[in-house]
Chains A and B, each alone.
Chain A
Amino acid sequence: QSVLTQPPSASGTPGQRATIPCSGSNSNIGNNPVNWYLQLPGTAPKLLIYMNSERPSGVPDRFSGSKSGTSASLAISGLQSEDEADYYCAAWDDSLKGWVFGGGTRVTVL
């Protein structure tokens, strides 16, 4: 049972927009910034979004993040086949004194 809650799967057709929600609490998302990570099969996670909505250099602007209260979301616009991967949200938890992750969402491009 993950501290942050994500749906296990999401899908869309090429060109569509997909949105992945991440729900937490006041001790994590409500009080700390959210990061999003992408993980392709058999590879290490890669930072996609940091500080709720900032993109590291090299990440396409098709990826965007937002946060409101104790929830965050990742949006992928103009879905492409190479976006098929697992996506994880994460935030520091003040009560647990550590980072917590969502269970991950597998995105499928139909």
Chain B
Amino acid sequence: EVQLVESGGGLVKPGGSLRLSCLASGFTFSAYAMSWVRQAPGKGLEWISAISGSGDVTYYSESVKGRFTVSRDNSDSTLFLQTAGLRAEDTAIYYCAKVLGGYVGMDSWGQGTLVTVSS
């Protein structure tokens, strides 16, 4: 059974940074691309980043490009999202998700970790 467990969220001041982690199990982690999707309070889903199985190809939404960095450690089956220059509008639940394949989209999701940006 695929399991994705996010951690690292919390309260941070504007301009601050956080490193989110997602521990994966139940599948061959290195064989699959992974994504981060966020959801602001009371709002819809917003895709923000993806990384290939090998880690050599990354994608970002315009809203986080230049501030967030996605990476992975295939030896530990862990996905990371390093955030920086956080803004109030980055307040959201951050979900990691396994990509089904190619450009098909995400099939399994973690439970999410809440990031709150406030002074």
How many residues of A sit at the interface, in one of the four size bands? 20 to 34
Contact B105 A44 (CB under 8 A): no
- Chain A residues with Cβ below 8 Å from B60 are 98
Which of the 9-residue segments A18-26, A60-68, A70-78, A84-92 touches chain B? A84-92
Known: A44-B109, A44-B111. A33 touches B45 (CB 8 A): no
Please report whether the interface of chain B is mostly helix, strand, loop or mixed according to DSSP: strand
* Closest Cβ neighbor of A31 among chain B residues: B103
Q: Which of B45-92 contact A (CB under 8 A)?
A: 45-47, 50, 59-62
* Closest Cβ neighbor of A97 among chain B residues: B59
Q: Does B110 contact A (CB under 8 A)?
A: yes
Taking Cβ atoms with an 8 Å cutoff, the residues of B that contact A are 35, 37, 44-47, 50, 59-62, 95, 100, 103-112
**A15–chain B nearest beta-carbon distance, Å:** 28
- Chain A residues with Cβ below 8 Å from B112 are 44
**A25–chain B nearest beta-carbon distance, Å:** 15
Contact A98 B59 (CB under 8 A): yes
Which among A32, A43, A50 is the interface contact of B107 at CB below 8 angstroms?
A50
Q: A87-110, CB under 8 A of B: which get 1 and which 0?
A: 010111000111111111000000
Known: A44-B111, A99-B35, A100-B47. A35 touches B59 (CB 8 A): no
Contact A99 B44 (CB under 8 A): no
Q: Does A45 contact B (CB under 8 A)?
A: yes
**B96–chain A nearest beta-carbon distance, Å:** 10
> How far apart are the CA atoms of A47 and B100 in the complex, in Å?
10
Q: Does A51 contact B (CB under 8 A)?
A: yes
> How far apart are the CA atoms of A88 and B106 in the complex, in Å?
12
Select the residue from B45, B47, B50, B107 with max chain A CB neighbours within 10 A.
B45
> How far apart are the CA atoms of A102 and B60 in the complex, in Å?
18
13 A-B Cβ contacts within 8 A? A33-B105, A44-B95, A45-B37, A45-B45, A45-B109, A90-B47, A92-B105, A96-B62, A98-B59, A99-B37, A99-B105, A101-B47, A103-B44
